[in-house]
Amino acid sequence: MNGNKVYFPPNDDEFEISLFGPGYGESVVIHIGGNNWVLVDSAIDPTTRKPAALTYLQKLGIDPSNAVKLVVATHWHDDHIRGLGEVLSVCKSAQFCCSGALRASEFLTLVGLYGTRLMIESSGIKEFHTILRIMESRRKKIGRPLSGIKLAIADRTLWRQSVSVSGQTLIAEIHSLSPSDASILKAQKDIGSLLPVEKETKRRVSPGNPNHVAVVLWVSIGDISVLLGSDLQETKQVDTGWSVIVNSPNRPPGRASAYKIPHHGSGNAHNNQVWTDMLQVNPYSLLTPFVTGKSVLPKKEDVKRICRMTKNAFATASIKKRKSPKRSKTVEKMIRETVRKINEVFTSEGQIRLRRRIYPKDNFEVDLIGGAVPLENIHLG
């Protein structure tokens, strides 16, 4: 798309959701009306090496220090949190929200152990260390309420505000639908197992699988509802994963017209009841691809499954054959003699943007920016 036509801010009476990725990660930017913005997770733009959300707001001419009201870390995987400390630092009026599982002493100890060590790369933990230090400094400087860390748990209202739209006063709300109590308990045990013991050799801490404590969000204003699936996976157990959400009697009513598909469209994050009970027919469905090592998401069968569920599915980038940077012939030869395989990390950047008037009822206008494609074309790159 022509850049001049893309980078203009939404009107106060327009709702917008943008999904960025993969870059280094995945992030969501939402305008919920009345110049109230919400940022969920963080992706690094591979070109500018800055958080994609901040770069985008800057292009729109939005001042994040006042406009952003909530910054959410859905979980602590590197591909969702990289750059979030910088985001929070700039968004001075925003409240910070994270999974209820992360208040555990085990996690805070992990942050204390790995957050300050120059020698042990662990960006997810280091990012949280930065965030906690920011919150600590805000506590000293500002006091309540901005110093508080909002803990997201199942069926909780995280943020609510009246927004005046076209002469109507509407309530804008953000609810967390996860993690469940059982997921939080399991996470505490898992995180505890990551703590080192005396005399153990130091190494980078691997977060394991924190997807089961990922924060799923329900965003609503007027007749618009959006479901953001983060990386939450299905566990086939009634007290964790998507099963808790679809069976909850306390989740907000209604059906979402837009859906951030969880965990890059993987089969293990699919729950049929989400599509039948929580989404409108043919919801706008957005995902970011994920490619690392031999793992590629979504797989071709995932694409088929999602495209059967909706005619409006989009991906932020196509999955292209990766290559290595160009180097001198001598260096190339020596590389080939040493490694079995070498590829550039998958970082092609794209953005899917949905916009519509909040009132009266309207259709979403879809913009595919950068490398974004209809989902059916994701493997044609």
Question: Which member of 21, 33, 64, 85 binds another protein (CB under 8 A)?
Answer: 85
Nearer to another protein, 56 or 242 (CB): 56
Given a contact cutoff of 8 angstroms between Cβ atoms, the answer to whether 259 and 284 are in contact is: yes
| 97 DSSP β-pair partners | 72, 150
Q: Is 339 in the site for another protein (CB under 8 A)?
A: yes
Minimum CB–partner distance for residue 13 and another protein (Å): 30
Q: Is 81 in the site for another protein (CB under 8 A)?
A: no
Nearer to another protein, 183 or 285 (CB): 183
Minimum CB–partner distance for residue 122 and another protein (Å): 8
Stretch that binds another protein, among 2-10, 214-222, 341-349, 367-375 (CB under 8 A): 341-349
Stretch that binds another protein, among 118-126, 225-233, 271-279, 364-372 (CB under 8 A): 118-126
Nearer to another protein, 136 or 365 (CB): 136
Given a contact cutoff of 8 angstroms between Cβ atoms, the answer to whether 254 and 287 are in contact is: no
Q: Is 301 in the site for another protein (CB under 8 A)?
A: no
348 sits in the region (left: phi over 0; alpha: psi -120 to 50; else beta) called beta
Stretch that binds another protein, among 2-10, 89-97, 185-193, 310-318 (CB under 8 A): 89-97
> What DSSP string runs through 58-123?
HHHT--HHHHEEEEEE----HHHHTTHHHHHHH-TTPEEEEEGGGGSHHHHHHHHHHTT-TTS--H
Q: Is 5 in the site for another protein (CB under 8 A)?
A: no
Question: Which member of 11, 147, 237, 248 binds another protein (CB under 8 A)?
Answer: 147
CB-based burial of residue 35 (10 Å sphere; 0-12 exposed, 13-18 middle, 19+ buried)? middle
297 residue type, one letter: L
Minimum CB–partner distance for residue 76 and another protein (Å): 15
Given a contact cutoff of 8 angstroms between Cβ atoms, the answer to whether 318 and 379 are in contact is: yes
Q: Is 120 in the site for another protein (CB under 8 A)?
A: yes
Chain centroid, CA 41 distance in Å = 4
Question: Which member of 273, 276, 324, 363 binds another protein (CB under 8 A)?
Answer: 324
Question: Which member of 133, 299, 305, 320 binds another protein (CB under 8 A)?
Answer: 133
Q: Is 111 in the site for another protein (CB under 8 A)?
A: yes
Given a contact cutoff of 8 angstroms between Cβ atoms, the answer to whether 13 and 33 are in contact is: yes
194's tokens: 């990551």
Query: What is the DSSP-derived secondary structure letter of residue 236?
Result: S
Which helix H or strand E contains 54, and what residues bound it?
A: helix 52-60
Strands 68-73, 37-40: pairing kind:
parallel
Choose among 149, 10, 26: nearest CA to 67. 10
Choose among 186, 201, 198: nearest CA to 241. 186
Minimum CB–partner distance for residue 292 and another protein (Å): 7
Q: Is 296 in the site for another protein (CB under 8 A)?
A: no
Q: Is 329 in the site for another protein (CB under 8 A)?
A: no
Question: Which member of 14, 63, 148, 237 binds another protein (CB under 8 A)?
Answer: 148
Q: Is 160 in the site for another protein (CB under 8 A)?
A: no
Question: Which member of 164, 292, 363, 377 binds another protein (CB under 8 A)?
Answer: 292
Q: Is 189 in the site for another protein (CB under 8 A)?
A: no
- Residue that is written with structure tokens 């076209």 in the block: 166
Which helix H or strand E contains 279, and what residues bound it?
A: strand 279-287
Question: Which member of 11, 12, 46, 376 binds another protein (CB under 8 A)?
Answer: 46
Q: Is 185 in the site for another protein (CB under 8 A)?
A: no
Nearer to another protein, 277 or 344 (CB): 344
How far from 362 is each of 117, 254, 257, 278, CA to CA, in Å? 51, 17, 11, 20
Minimum CB–partner distance for residue 139 and another protein (Å): 7
- Chain residues binding another protein by CB under 8 A are 46, 85-86, 89-90, 92, 103, 105, 108-113, 116-121, 130, 132-141, 144, 147-151, 195-206, 292-294, 324-325, 327-328, 330-331, 334-335, 337-345, 347
